[in-house]
Structure 1
Amino acid sequence: MEPEGAKNGFDSFIQSVNSVLEKPVTWFRESVVDKNRVEYPWYHRQFRRVPTIDECYTDDIVCFIEADEQFKRDRMVDNEVLNILRQRKEDCVMYEGADSKTKCAKMIEDYDKAAENWFIKYGDLGAYGNVKDAYMKQKHRLIWERRHGPVGSGMKSAL
């Protein structure tokens, strides 16, 4: 009795060996691995959150690198959110025309607030800004606000 598709004795032998080796692996993959795997679309990959730079020890280089990669992913997400808000605002202004000041006020306000928050976090860092630069920027801003009040309100006068 030859296996299906065999042309001669050698071909029959190779197909028999192949089925002996392949069948258990295929069965294990289909019945165990695939049933226990969580499926998600490739474009929706979710990374676990890692400690931020302020939670890393000063000599933990791996933690610094992980925090920097997390920062880069967060910056890319924030850039896309800002691009979506900008596109919605532009579409609304284009569609509404002369009435856009009143009808698109909410979208314009949302975009302006998001752009301000983006600049507070990522502005002036440049293309090669990393998590340490952003952390120092945040620290300097907090010190400025403690001494002089909110940024943009002018300096406090001496008492």
Structure 2
Amino acid sequence: MPEPRSPMASFAQSVQNIIDGPITWFRESIVEPNQEKYNWYHQKYRRVPTIDQCYTDDAVCRFEADQQFRRDRMVDNEIVNILRQRFEDCTLYEAPDHIVKCKPILETYEKATENWFIKYGDLGGYANAKTAYMKQKHRLIWERRHGPVGTGMKGEEQTAH
């Protein structure tokens, strides 16, 4: 550290050392040596209970479930973006035979997109874990009554059983 230029600066520096010194020592000698070093660059979060495992009056559990939902949605968004980029790169690289050569990548991308829309489609930007859970519940009820979504509704003869 540079030498203080005045008695006031010297006093301020000594107060800073008294307050910050133990904190810096604790962090450098106890916290940092005991931290796990990861081989990847992103933080790995532990999985938290989902919204259906939370009590209705447990605000902390609901908040954690919402945060987990947001992280999962961001990861799923990136997966779909990467698959789309791979398909676009394959199309550019393999043209004019891209229809045949890129078919597996296209099928993977379309399945990932379908799964993304099943889980997150029509929820909007301010969706939370509860709205996604309710969407899943409504979809399951619909499929129980009418068959898989997109296949048309069961006829009256099938529902009479």
Identify the residue that residue 95 of structure 1 maps to in structure 2.
93
User: Structure 2 unaligned runs (5+)?
Assistant: 4-13
Aligned AA for 2:86?
R
Q: Say whether residues 1:52 and 2:50 are aligned partners.
A: yes
Structure 2 CA distance, aligned partners of 1:129 and 1:34?
Answer: 37
Residue 43 of structure 1: CA displacement? 3.6
Q: How many residues align?
A: 146
Residue 64 of structure 1: CA displacement? 0.8
Aligned AA for 2:144?
R
Q: Over residues 11-70 of structure 1, what are the superposed CA-to-partner deviations in whole Å (9 max), with x where a residue is unaligned?
A: xxxxxx9xxx9x999887666544322123784101111100000011111111110010
Structure 2 CA distance, aligned partners of 1:86 and 1:57?
Answer: 39
Aligned AA for 1:147?
R
Identify the residue that residue 158 of structure 1 maps to in structure 2.
156
Correspondence 1:10-49 to 2 at 5 A: 32-40=30-38, 43-49=41-47
Identify the residue that residue 139 of structure 1 maps to in structure 2.
137
Identify the residue that residue 6 of structure 2 maps to in structure 1.
none
Identify the residue that residue 79 of structure 2 maps to in structure 1.
81
TM-score (norm 2): 0.78
Q: Which entry has the higher C-alpha Rg, 1 or 2?
A: 1
Identify the residue that residue 65 of structure 2 maps to in structure 1.
67
Structure 1 CA distance, aligned partners of 2:97 and 2:113?
Answer: 23
TM-score (norm 1): 0.79
Q: Which of 104, 107, 110 pairs up with 1:106?
A: 104
Give the direction of change, closer, same or farther, for the CA distance of 1:92–1:28 in structure 2 (3 Å limit).
same
Identify the residue that residue 125 of structure 2 maps to in structure 1.
127
Give the direction of change, closer, same or farther, for the CA distance of 1:26–1:67 in structure 2 (3 Å limit).
closer
Give the percent of matched residue pairs that are identical in Structure 1 and Structure 2: 67
Aligned AA for 2:80?
L
